[in-house]
C-alpha cells in the first residue's frame, strides 16, 4: 500500500487540465476530501514497475552512500512482490545519471518527500534528487528524476511533474534566491539525459497557475479535458465503461477521418491544418480504444450476452506445430540431413553489445568491440511527424530539391 497525493506531481498532466478527473478518481477509490488527505493505493504492480523501483533504490543508495551501481550487480532486490537481480545492463544504465549528479554536487538530497502545501494545500511528492549548486557567485537549483521505463520517451521541456518537485525542493531548502533551475530527466532506455532550464520567476509563475487550478478543483468549477497526456494513466479511462467524454472526443476524431461514420448531433470537421494534425497525432489512441471495445464486445458475446447484431464464432485455426518436437527433428534430419535446419544467424547488435562491449566490471572483448564499432552504420531515419515544440529542427525536403536544381 502506498500513499499518493491526490494532486500528485506524477499525475499533474491529468489533474491540472482535466480537473473533473479528480472527483471521479476519488469516487473510484472510495472518496475523501481532495485537500484533506492522500489516497492510499494498492498499486497494480508488474515486473516492469518492480524493475523501475529497484533501479530507483540502487540509484538512491549510490547517491546517498557514495556507492557505484556496479556494487549491486548480482544482488537480488525485492520490490512490489517481485524479485529482481541487478545486472550489468542496469548498472550501466544508471551510471551516466549518477555521474552527472556527482559532477554538480557531493551531497544531493535523495528521495525527499517535498511539501507542496504553499501551492497545493496538503499535497506532496517524492523528489528523486535535488540540490543547490554554488558556482561563480550564482546559485542554481537542480532536480533530477530517473525514469527507468523504455517505452515512451518523456520530454524534459515543459515537464509539470519536475516543476512541482522543484517548487517543493525550493521550499524544503528554505526558499533560497536561485539564478536558474535545471530540470533533468534521466531516462537511460528512452532518450538518455534530457534537460530544461528555467528561472525562479518562471517556476513561481507556474506555482501560481497550480494554485488557480487547485482553487477551481476545490470550488467544483471543473471540466473534462481529454488529451493523450491526461488520459494515459487515468483510472477513469480503464474503469468499467471507460470515460464517456474521452470516448466522445476520440469518436469525433474518428468520424472526421471516416466520412461514412456519422455521430448524431456531431458535424464533421474538415481534416485540414490543425484538425488533421490532431487526428493524426491521436490515431494510436483511437486504434487502442477500438481494440479495447473489440475485446469488450467479444467478451460480452462469449459470456452469452452479445451486442445486438453480433455473435462469437470459432476463429481460423492457429499455426501448425509438432506435438513432439524431438521426434519431428529426428525424422527430419533422417530425411533432409543439414537441410533440416535453418541457416545460422549472427546475434543482433544489442545482444553483441551485452556480450562483447567491455564494462567497468565486465571484461568483454575490447579489441573485437573496437573493430566491430568501425563496421557499425545506421540508415537515415524516415521523416516522422512530431509536435512542433520537439527539440529536433524541422525537416523540409523541398529545400534540398531546390538546392539540387
Ligand atoms: S480519461 Fe481523460 S477525460 Fe476522462 S477523466 Fe480521465 S483524464 Fe479526464
How many folded domains does the chain comprise? 2
CATH number at residue 176: 3.90.320
Contacts of 145 (CB under 8 A, 6+ apart): 127, 128, 129, 161, 162, 165, 183, 184, 185, 186
Q: Is 17 in the pocket of ligand 1 (CB under 6 A)?
A: no
Which alpha helices (H) appear in 259-324, and where do they start and end?
273-281, 283-302
Measure 223 CA to ligand 1 centroid, in angstroms.
10
Q: 167-212: per-residue pLDDT in tens? A: 999 999 999 999 999 999 999 999 999 999 999 999 999 999 999 9
pLDDT computed for residue 36 by the predictor: 46
Pairing, β 138-146 against β 124-135? antiparallel
140 lies in the same domain as 245:
no
215 lies in the same domain as 285:
no
- Percent pLDDT > 90 in the chain is 74
Find the Cα–Cα–Cα–Cα dihedral 216, 154, 275, 225, rounded to 10°. -20
The mean pLDDT of 123-132, rounded to a whole number, is 96
123 lies in the same domain as 156:
yes
232 lies in the same domain as 176:
no
Q: Find, among 72, 66, 102, the residue nearest to 89 by Cα.
A: 72
Q: Which domain holds residue 262?
A: 228-302
Residue 329 within any structural domain of the chain: no
3 state SS of 361: coil
Measure 263 CA to ligand 1 centroid, in angstroms.
21
Pick the last residue of a domain from 219, 238, 253. 219
Q: Which three cell numbers stand for residue 101?
A: 549528479
Residue 369 within any structural domain of the chain: no
Assess whether pLDDT exceeds 60 at residue 1.
no
Mean of the per-residue pLDDT values of the chain: 90
Residue 399 within any structural domain of the chain: no
Pick the last residue of a domain from 281, 302, 323. 302
Neighbours of 297 (CB within 10 A): 14
Pick the last residue of a domain from 302, 332, 355. 302
Mutate to test the pocket of ligand 1, among 6, 27, 224, 253 (most ligand atoms within 8 A of CB): 224
In degrees, rounded to 5, the angle at the alpha carbon of residue 154 between the alpha carbons of residues 90 and 106 is 55
pLDDT computed for residue 81 by the predictor: 81
Q: Is the dihedral of CA 99, 56, 88, 150 positive or negative?
A: negative
Confidence grade of residue 388 (pLDDT, cut at 50, 70, 90) = confident
233 lies in the same domain as 93:
no
76 lies in the same domain as 9:
yes
Assess whether pLDDT exceeds 60 at residue 3.
no
58 lies in the same domain as 171:
yes
Nearest CA to ligand 1 atom 5: 21
Mutate to test the pocket of ligand 1, among 12, 16, 223, 230 (most ligand atoms within 8 A of CB): 230
Q: 64-107: per-residue pLDDT in tens? A: 999 999 999 999 998 878 888 999 899 999 999 999 999 999 99
Amino acid at each position: 500500500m502506498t500513499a499518493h497525493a491526490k494532486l500528485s506531481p506524477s499525475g499533474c498532466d491529468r489533474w491540472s487540465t482535466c480537473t473533473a478527473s479528480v472527483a471521479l478518481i476519488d469516487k473510484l477509490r472510495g472518496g475523501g476530501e481532495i485537500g484533506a488527505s492522500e489516497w492510499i493505493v494498492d498499486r497494480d504492480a508488474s515486473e516492469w514497475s518492480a524493475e523501475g523501483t529497484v533501479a530507483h533504490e540502487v540509484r538512491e543508495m549510490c547517491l546517498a552512500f557514495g556507492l557505484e551501481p556496479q556494487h549491486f550487480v548480482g544482488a537480488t532486490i525485492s520490490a512490489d512482490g517481485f524479485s529482481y537481480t541487478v545486472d550489468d545492463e542496469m548498472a550501466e544504465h544508471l551510471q551516466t545519471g549518477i555521474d552527472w549528479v556527482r559532477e554538480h554536487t557531493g551531497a544531493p538530497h535523495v528521495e525527499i518527500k517535498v511539501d507542496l502545501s504553499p501551492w497545493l494545500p496538503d499535497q506532496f511528492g517524492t523528489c528523486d534528487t535535488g540540490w543547490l549548486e554554488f558556482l561563480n557567485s550564482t546559485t542554481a537549483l537542480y532536480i533530477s528524476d530517473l525514469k527507468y521505463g523504455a517505452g515512451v520517451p518523456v520530454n524534459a521541456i515543459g515537464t509539470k511533474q519536475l516543476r512541482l518537485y522543484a517548487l517543493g525542493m525550493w521550499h524544503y531548502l528554505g526558499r533560497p534566491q536561485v539564478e536558474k533551475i535545471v530540470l533533468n530527466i534521466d531516462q537511460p532506455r528512452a532518450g538518455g539525459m534530457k534537460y530544461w532550464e528555467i528561472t525562479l520567476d518562471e517556476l513561481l509563475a507556474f506555482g501560481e497557475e497550480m494554485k488557480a487550478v487547485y482553487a477551481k478543483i476545490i470550488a467544483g468549477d471543473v471540466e473534462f479535458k481529454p488529451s493523450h497526456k491526461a488520459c494515459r494513466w487515468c483510472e477513469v479511462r480503464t474503469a468499467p465503461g471507460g470515460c464517456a467524454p474521452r470516448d466522445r472526443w476520440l469518436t469525433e476524431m474518428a468520424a472526421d477521418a471516416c466520412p461514412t461514420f456519422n455521430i448524431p448531433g456531431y458535424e464533421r470537421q474538415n481534416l485540414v491544418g490543425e484538425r488533421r494534425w490532431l487526428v493524426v497525432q491521436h490515431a494510436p489512441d483511437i486504434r487502442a480504444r477500438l481494440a479495447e471495445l473489440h475485446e469488450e464486445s467479444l467478451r460480452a458475446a462469449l459470456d452469452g450476452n452479445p451486442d445486438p447484431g453480433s455473435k462469437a464464432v470459432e476463429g481460423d485455426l492457429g499455426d501448425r506445430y509438432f506435438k513432439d518436437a524431438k521426434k519431428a527433428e529426428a525424422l527430419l534430419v533422417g530425411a533432409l540431413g543439414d537441410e533440416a535446419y535453418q541457416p545460422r544467424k549472427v546475434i543482433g547488435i544489442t545482444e553483441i553489445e551485452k556480450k562483447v562491449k567491455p564494462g567497468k566490471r565486465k571484461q568483454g572483448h575490447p579489441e573485437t568491440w573496437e573493430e566491430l564499432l568501425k563496421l557499425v552504420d545506421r540508415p537515415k531515419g524516415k521523416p516522422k511527424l512530431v509536435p512542433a515544440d520537439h527539440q529536433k529542427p524541422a525537416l523540409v525536403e523541398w529545400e534540398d530539391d531546390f538546392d539540387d536544381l
